[in-house]
Structure 1
Amino acid sequence: MVTDDLLKEFKDRMHISHSGEDSNLKQLLSYSISSIKGNCGEFNIAGESDIDVRARELVFERTRYAYNEALEYFENNFLSEINSLGIDIALLEEGEEDATF
């Protein structure tokens, strides 16, 4: 779910001051959240953990690429960050599973 706070944070980062594109930006953010979760695993987009902050950064970068119609370059340019985040999320999930036994 894309909140108004998340939208504002993205717009501030992109220096977008008008509201004419808000619904499009929310849709792009939503698609980016789904994409990063699909590639890396679950995270809390509003969270403050290291994983959540790194995931939010990737969501913003992917949304920036989509907004600028350059999405085809995103994965190659951020492959290291995507892989690193995915590994860290998998290790965290594995650690949580081990803790329940």
Structure 2
Amino acid sequence: MPEDLLNDVKNYLHITWQDEATDKNITGIIKRGMTRLQTIAGVSIDFTQEDLARSLLFDYCRYANSHALEMFEKNFSAELLSLHINSQVNTESEATQ
């Protein structure tokens, strides 16, 4: 997991306090979100880039932290489909070059 990602997600979630238990919880959420989004995309993703994947990861973390994760894929279905299609197109064009 990229070093600054925890702080960036905590900032996005408006978590301003330092607490080992909170950091452990958010780190777990981030790792699960990264795994889920990479599974949907079908490729490895660089979450340090300011793009759709990073935005989706932050929203995944927001939903998970709010105990509403079951709504994430429904509410972001168009964005998740776009992530998948764009990832596959980029992979295919890299393979043909």
Tell me the TM-score normalized by structure 2: 0.91
Q: Do the aligned residues in 1 keep the contact of 2:9 with 2:58 (CA within 8 Å)?
A: yes
Give the deviation of 1:47 after TM superposition: 2.8
CA contact (8 A) 2:2 2:48 kept: no
The residue correspondences of 1:9-88 to structure 2 (distance < 5 A) are: 9-20=8-19, 21-41=22-42, 42-48=44-50, 53-88=51-86
Q: CA contact under 8 A between 1:2 and 1:29: conserved in structure 2? A: no
CA offset digits 1:47-72 (Å, max 9, x no partner)? 35xxxx21011111111111100000
Residue identity (%): 33
- Give the unaligned 5+ runs of structure 2: none
Superposition CA RMSD, Å: 1.1
Specify the code of the residue in structure 1 equivalent to 2:45: F
User: Partner of 1:63: helix, strand, or coil?
Assistant: helix
Task: Specify every segment of 5 or more residues in structure 1 that has no aligned partner in the other structure, as ranges.
Answer: none
Distance in 1 between residues matched to 2:67 and 2:54, nearest whole Å: 20
* 2:73 partner letter: E
Aligned residues: 94
Q: Structure 1 runs of 4+ off > 4 angstroms?
A: none
Name the stretch that deviates more: 74-83 or 10-19.
Answer: 10-19
Q: Is the 8 A contact 1:40 1:89 kept in 2?
A: yes
In 2: Cα distance, 1:85 partner to 1:32 partner = 14
* 34-43 or 72-81, larger mean C-alpha shift: 34-43
Partners of 2:37 and 2:57 within 8 A in 1: yes
